[in-house]
Amino acid sequence: MSAPPPRERAVRAPLRPPWSEQGLLEVFQHRYILSLLVRREIAARYQGSVLGLLWSYVNPLSQFFIYYFVMGILFGRAQRTEAFAIHVFAGLIVVHFFTETMNAGTRSIVRNKSLVQKMAVPREMFPVASMLVSLFHVGPQVVILLIATTLSGWRPDPEGMVLGVIGLLISMTLGTALALMFSAANVFLRDVQNAVNVLSNFVRFGSPMMYPYVLVAKRFHGHTTLYLLNPITEAVLDFQRAFWVGATNHPARTAAIDMPDNLFWLSIRALLISLVVLVIAQSTFSRLERRIPERLL
Amino acid sequence: MTDRRSIIVRHVSKTFTLRYHRTLKQMSVAMMRQQDMSDSFLAVNDVSFTIQQGESIGLMGLNGSGKSTLLKMINGIMRPDRGKVLTRGRIAGLIATGAGFHPQLTGRDNVYLNAAILGMTEAETARKFDDIVEFADIGRFLDSPVGHYSSGMFARLGFAVAIHVDADIFLADEVLAVGDRPFKRKCLAKMQEIRDSGTTLFYVSHATGSVRKMCDRVLVLEQGRLAFDGPVDEGIRFLHYDEDDEENALETEEELDEEMGADI
């Protein structure tokens, strides 16, 4: 009646808990799954729409035109800030990347619940994949920016390029951190995704994208410590330093007037702040994660 | 002598919180009426057992006795509140009828994604892809989103992926609940093949016939507690201690088939 004696199967792997315990590190050990998830996200985000992937560009472009029209033309910024269109667009790339990461990341675990409930996959995968999908869209936007700024007389300079990279790193780190934290919190309270929408608005208006930094410095008589504590401010300034300053008539003067002193060290500080937030986010995530599968309905 | 332990479960407990009131309005009303805000219930209660590599275990018990929760903890989807779970090697399987598929993705993409999560590389999946598709027998639906699949097709594809992973531990939770009889036969045959290759098999079923055929040890859960751990026939008798009339009816080979059909 009972089964015949099974063949011997020697398993060399060690005995260990079946779940993952290394958090984000685990994600990068599973790059193949990550790449599948990213490809899937890109395919699924605009599934069933005719324009498809184009929406990823329609959205930031429409924002760009609105900001340019309202701030540049109605409020007259375009006359006072040189190459204002490039100023706005450079900032918009960073801000849009960051808010997209945060918004899509926040919803990522709930959206993937069919997988989360049935497969043992490191759940940090989902917010990280959201970040990479948003990053994927940054590429073409930077190409457009490069064309526009080169036509305005921009030439790359080493300092600007380094800062541009740091700026991108800041927004990637902070975006991933917040996506991680909010994605887990969103499982427990769906209020989180609405709160994140509100936060996105603050980010849009709270960073020097549609207005120049010098305006803030003037209004607050140089007391911009608090304003500069927001890492996204530095990320935006870095991108403008990289792609906008060189497009103005006197880059050295623009950098001196429109950029804060010590932008490099401010950016390093912003990157460190973002990394600290990432560590906090990971520990929050690990704590919340234990109850995610049972709370996903 | 080498350590052949495959699954170790030590004093594992899992509590679920039932939340009655979710919105601020509901919560304040409940608070005024002094109702309970939440209630917890012990789905798995201090369960311990050790399984050697190559054993095939039938996990039985009534609905809601904690079988799926236990399986989810062995699979690594859930973590126990107390106690520990240790496993050795690659785990594959199906949890609670149906795979973790993404409804918007096509069958093909889901196969690759699922296989990757179960630890298969791209090359390995590509090599086994035709076998998987043939086993699932979903024909031209392969390239349409799995959201459009019938529940049977959905389950078939999930089972086909899981069963083609060269796993050291195979978990099968009510896999045969959906799917027609030819497919059930095919699954049982394939599971026997897997068992005979030395894979640890963890099979959840209410069908005593298939448990008899597949397993050499039975665990019975009763309200989250491990009520029985031992030989198959005794376990099945234990399970049916108050259902004498049903017990005698399920012995012959023909009725085995009948009973597989009633596997819910």
* Residue B142 sits at the chain A interface (C-beta within 8 Å): no
Other residues' Cβ atoms within 10 Å of the Cβ of residue A296: 15
Would residue A156 count as lying in a domain?
A: yes
Residues A12/A15/A19/A20 CA torsion (nearest 10 deg): -70
Quick one: pLDDT at residue A297?
67
Range B206-220 average pLDDT: 87
Would residue A131 count as lying in a domain?
A: yes
Quick one: pLDDT at residue A24?
87
Using 50, 70 and 90 to split pLDDT, how confident is the model at B252? very low
The reply to whether residue A11 touches residue B6, judged by beta carbons under 8 angstroms, is: yes
**Residues of A contacting chain B (CB within 8 angstroms):** 1-4, 6-11, 13-20, 30, 32-33, 36-37, 40, 43-44, 47, 112, 114-121, 290, 293-294
Longest dimension (CA), chain A: 90
Quick one: pLDDT at residue B191?
87
User: What are the beta bridge partners of residue B56?
Assistant: B201
**Protein fold of B54-82+90-261:** Rossmann fold (3.40.50)
Q: How far is A111 from chain B (nearest CA, A)?
A: 9
The predicted-structure confidence for A242-285, as pLDDT tens digits, reads as follows 999 999 999 899 998 899 989 999 999 999 999 999 999 999 99
Q: Are B92 and A36 in contact (CB under 8 A)?
A: no
User: In terms of Cα–Cα distance, which of A215, A219, A190, A213 is closest to A266?
Assistant: A213
Q: Are B113 and A40 in contact (CB under 8 A)?
A: yes
Total domains present in chain A: 1
Range of the domain at A135: 24-288
Q: Quote the mean pLDDT of chain B.
A: 82
Lowest mean pLDDT among B48-62, B116-130, B193-207, B249-263: B249-263
Q: Of A1-15, B83-97, B136-150, B221-235, which one has max mean pLDDT?
A: B221-235
Burial code (b: 16+ CB inside 10 Å, e: under 16) for B1-28 equals eeebbbbbbeebbbebeeeebeeeeeee
The domain limits of chain B are: 54-82+90-261
Would residue A13 count as lying in a domain?
A: no
Quick one: pLDDT at residue B97?
56
Report the chain B residue with the minimal C-alpha distance to residue A27: B117
Question: Which one of A15, A33, A47 has the shortest CB-CB distance to B116?
Answer: A33
The DSSP-derived string for A231-284 is: HHHHHHHHHHHHHTGGGSS-HHHHHHHHS-TTHHHHHHHHHHHHHHHHHHHHHH
Q: Which residue do the tokens 């594992």 mark?
A: B12
Quick one: pLDDT at residue B136?
86
**Residues of chain A below pLDDT 50:** 1-3
Sheet (strand B82-88) strand order: A15-16, B82-88, B5-19, B38-52
User: What are the beta bridge partners of residue B228?
Assistant: B220
Return the structure tokens found at A66: 């609105």
Q: How far is A12 from chain B (nearest CA, A)?
A: 8
Lowest mean pLDDT among A259-273, B205-219, B241-255: B241-255
3-state class of A22 per DSSP? coil
pTM: 0.87
- The ipTM value here is 0.82
The DSSP-derived string for chain B is: ----EEEEEEEEEEEEEEE---SHHHHHHHHHTT--SEEEEEEEEEEEEEEETT-EEEEEE-TTSSHHHHHHHHHTSS--SEEEEEEES-EEEE-SSS----TTSBHHHHHHHHHHHTT--HHHHHHHHHHHHHHHT-GGGGGSBGGGS-HHHHHHHHHHHHHHS--SEEEEESTTSSS-HHHHHHHHHHHHHHHHTT-EEEEE-S-HHHHHHH-SEEEEEETTEEEEEE-HHHHHHHHTTT-HHHHGGG-SHHHHHHHHHT--
Quick one: pLDDT at residue B250?
45
* Residue B77 sits at the chain A interface (C-beta within 8 Å): yes
**What are the two backbone dihedrals, phi and then psi, of residue A53, each rounded to the nearest 5 degrees?**
-60, -25
The reply to whether residue A19 touches residue B88, judged by beta carbons under 8 angstroms, is: no
- Give, to the nearest 10 degrees, the angle between helix A125-151 and helix A231-243: 30
